[in-house]
Structure 1
Amino acid sequence: MPYVIGADLPDRPAGERFRALLDRPNILQMPGAHLGLAALLAQKQGFEALYLSGAAMSATMGLPDLGMITVEDVCFHIRQVARATGMPLLVDGDTGYGEALNVMHMVRTFEDAGAAAVHLEDQHLPKKCGHLNDKKLASVEEMAAKVAAARKARRHLYVIARTDAVASEGMEAAVDRAKRYLEAGADAIFPEALVTRDMFIEFARRMPGVKLLANMTEFGRTPFFTAAEFESMGYSMVIWPVSHLRIAAKAWEKLYAQIAAEGGTQGALDRMQTRAELYATIRYHEYEELDASLVRTIIPEGMPQNN
Structure 2
Amino acid sequence: MGDLLSKPGDRRARLRALLDSGEPVLAPGAYDALSARLVEQAGFDAAYMTGFGSTAGLLGRPDVGLLGGAEMAAHAARLADAVDLPLIADADTGYGNPVNVIRTVRDYERAGVAALHLEDQVMPKRCGHMAGKQVVPAGEMAAKIRAAVDARSDPDLLVIARTDAAAVDGLDAAIDRARRFADAGADLLFVEAPTSEAHIEQVATALQGHKLVFNWAEGGRTPPLSRDRLAELGFALVLFPIGTLLAATAAMGEFLRVLRTDGTPAAMLDRLGGVDPFAELVGLGEIRELEQRYRD
Same fold flag (TM > 0.5): yes
Larger Rg: 1
Of 135, 140, 143, which aligns to 1:142? 140
Q: How many residues align?
A: 292
Q: What letter corresponds to residue 91 of structure 1 in structure 2? A: A
Contact 1:34–1:78 (CA under 8 A) maintained in structure 2: no
Residue 258 of structure 1, CA deviation: 2.0
Aligned positions of 1:39-50 closer than 5 A: 39-50=36-47
The corresponding residue for 1:91 is 89
Residue 80 of structure 1, CA deviation: 2.2
Q: What letter corresponds to residue 217 of structure 2 in structure 1? A: T
TM-score normalised by structure 1 residue count: 0.90
Deviations 1:129-175 (A, max 9, x none): 11122211110011111111101101232001001111221222111
Q: Distance in 1 between matches of 2:273 and 2:32?
A: 16
The corresponding residue for 1:18 is 15
The corresponding residue for 2:258 is 258
The corresponding residue for 1:76 is 74
Structure 2: any 5+ residue segments left out of the alignment?
A: none
The corresponding residue for 2:221 is 221
Deviations 1:33-85 (A, max 9, x none): 13222122211221011001111000112122111102222233222221121
Q: What letter corresponds to residue 34 of structure 1 in structure 2? A: Y
Structure 1: any 5+ residue segments left out of the alignment?
A: 296-307
Normalized per residue, which structure has more helix? 2
TM-score normalised by structure 2 residue count: 0.94
Deviations 1:194-235 (A, max 9, x none): 111121111111112100000011221111212222111221
Aligned positions of 1:288-307 closer than 5 A: 288-292=288-292
Give the 3-state SS of the residue equivalent to 1:214 in structure 2: strand
Report % sequence identity. 37
Give the 3-state SS of the residue equivalent to 2:133 in structure 1: coil
Residue 294 of structure 1, CA deviation: 8.7
Q: Distance in 1 between matches of 2:83 and 2:294?
A: 24
Give the 3-state SS of the residue equivalent to 1:177 in structure 2: helix
Aligned positions of 1:104-119 closer than 5 A: 104-119=102-117
The corresponding residue for 2:208 is 208
The corresponding residue for 1:301 is none
Deviations 1:94-127 (A, max 9, x none): 1111111111101000110111111111110121
Q: Distance in 1 between matches of 2:285 and 2:178?
A: 49
Q: Distance in 1 between matches of 2:274 and 2:22?
A: 38
